[in-house]
């Protein structure tokens, strides 16, 4: 492998589907060098182009979600468009889609049909409920997956209805699991020489991170409920108000860390107090302990309190908004805020690549294209060998 070569450069990916889950998988693969070809129907863009805030008519989410991707248009609802996709599949390693199950089959683009054309093809399929089961044909968004997966039930405060986390976490989780599955299938293909289907469901992706809620219920008769900012039976682990009217997070539930917190607060006696000396005791006396800690945090500005906690080795921090993230030197040093040139907006800031690889790190080469079908000539001309005349004919016929 050459020095500047990205680790997935030998993979070509066709990205179908819209919005979040499927396209986020495409973004992750593209970050590490895969040639990702984003497909949209001619005249009908991915709604993500217009989601979120905008600047000068440009959606600010799209350049991030579609970074490093080529953009083509293709009408998959007609036979000729389906035929063109089959031609592309011959030259493709991975196809990513997040339609409702049955859609690809309706278009004569099932895995069985496509794998006959290219036995090495890996099809990454993300849907609300998966490709099998009694719910497979239901429409499923991330919000429903978060609800059915158990996350919404435990999110929020006990005296209020279930709450949404502030991002589309269900979609993102399913994309992460789909990408893991995709890379597992790529690795397995090195041994078998054939591809397979990666079937990822939104609700399952959420449920898979729900810790011990099932044995908690079956074996201990306990249903985990909404607890706000605390962890049941784990203390101290909460947010605390400070003198300058902000909040900081402190996590000091381990015995040794709690002792260091007591030293930071200049209340060493609390570490040996029977009410707080053990993990179980602190959990049982959580409210009292949190009130004692907040007495201390309210006496200091957040910056000063955090400095003392850092010196004592107590995990703690501010609750960051975008402003604090941009100002943080650690984000800068770790290249987690990168600037990419955008054709309309100029310098465009976005999250860096995760995870960090020591020898072959990922890279953001360009922001997502604002022009649908910008790469039609390159993809259809170079990959399929279409002439300029044929491309123009397909364009006039609204096939691309």
Query: How far is residue 351's CA from residue 55's CA, in Å, rounded to a whole number?
Result: 18
Calculate the alpha carbon distances from 223 to 153, 159, 210, 231 in Å.
10, 16, 12, 14
Query: How far is residue 394's CA from residue 237's CA, in Å, rounded to a whole number?
Result: 60
Residues 6+ away with beta carbon under 8 Å from 337? 325, 326, 331, 349, 350, 351, 352
Known catalytic residue: 290?
A: no
3-state secondary structure 99-138: CCCCHHHHCCCCHHHHHHHCCCCEEEEEECCCCCCCCCCC
Query: How far is residue 252's CA from residue 248's CA, in Å, rounded to a whole number?
Result: 13
Give the pair of three-digit tokens for residue 115: 């794998």
**Residue 347, strand partner residues:** 341
Calculate the alpha carbon distances from 179 to 45, 89, 140, 145, 307 in Å.
24, 19, 19, 18, 39
Instruction: Please calculate the CA angle 268-271-274 and round it to the nearest 5 degrees.
Output: 130
Catalytic residue among 31, 46, 93, 171: 171
**Could you tell me if 145 and 202 are in contact, meaning their C-beta atoms sit under 8 angstroms apart?**
yes
**Could you tell me if 249 and 319 are in contact, meaning their C-beta atoms sit under 8 angstroms apart?**
yes
**Residue 239, strand partner residues:** 249
Instruction: Please calculate the CA angle 343-334-321 and round it to the nearest 5 degrees.
Output: 75
Give the pair of three-digit tokens for residue 339: 């600037």
* Selection from 15, 135, 121, 134 nearest residue 65 by Cα: 15
Enumerate the active-site residues: 171
């Amino acid at each position: 492998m050459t020095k500047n070569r990205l680790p997935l450069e030998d993979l070509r990916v066709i990205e179908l589907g819209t919005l979040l889950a499927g396209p986020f998988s495409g973004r992750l693969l593209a970050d590490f060098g895969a040639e990702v070809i984003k497909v949209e129907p001619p005249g009908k863009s991915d709604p993500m182009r217009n989601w979120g805030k905008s600047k000068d008519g440009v959606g600010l989410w799209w350049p991030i979600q579609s970074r490093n991707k080529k953009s083509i248009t293709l009408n998959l609802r007609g036979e000729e468009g389906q035929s063109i996709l089959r031609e592309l599949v011959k030259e493709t390693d991975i196809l990513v889609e997040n339609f409702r199950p049955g859609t690809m089959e309706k278009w004569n683009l099932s895995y069985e049909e496509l794998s006959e054309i290219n036995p090495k093809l890996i099809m990454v399929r993300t849907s609300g409920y998966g490709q099998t089961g009694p719910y497979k044909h239901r429409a499923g968004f991330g919000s429903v997956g978060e609800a059915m997966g158990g996350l919404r039930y435990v999110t929020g405060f006990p005296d209020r209805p279930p709450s949404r986390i502030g991002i589309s976490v269900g979609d993102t989780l399913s994309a992460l699991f789909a990408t893991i599955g995709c890379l597992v299938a790529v690795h397995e293909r090195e041994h078998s020489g054939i591809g397979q289907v990666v079937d990822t469901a939104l609700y399952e992706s959420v449920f898979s991170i729900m810790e011990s809620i099932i044995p908690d219920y079956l074996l201990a008769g306990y249903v985990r409920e909404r607890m706000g900012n605390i962890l049941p039976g784990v203390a101290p682990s909460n947010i605390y108000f400070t003198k300058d009217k902000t909040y900081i997070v402190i996590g000091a539930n381990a015995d040794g860390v709690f002792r260091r917190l007591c030293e930071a607060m200049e209340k060493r006696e609390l570490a040996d107090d029977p009410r707080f000396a053990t993990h179980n005791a602190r959990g049982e006396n959580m409210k009292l302990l949190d009130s004692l800690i907040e007495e201390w945090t309210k006496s200091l500005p957040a910056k000063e309190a955090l400095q003392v906690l850092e010196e004592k080795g107590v995990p703690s921090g501010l609750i960051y908004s975008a402003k604090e993230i941009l100002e943080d030197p650690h984000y800068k040093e770790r290249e987690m805020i990168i600037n990419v040139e955008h054709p309309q907006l100029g310098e465009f800031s976005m999250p860096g690549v995760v995870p960090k690889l020591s020898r072959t790190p990922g890279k953001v080469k360009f922001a997502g294209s604002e022009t649908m079908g910008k790469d039609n000539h390159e993809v259809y001309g170079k990959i399929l060998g279409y002439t300029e005349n044929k491309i123009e004919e397909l364009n006039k016929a609204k096939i691309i």
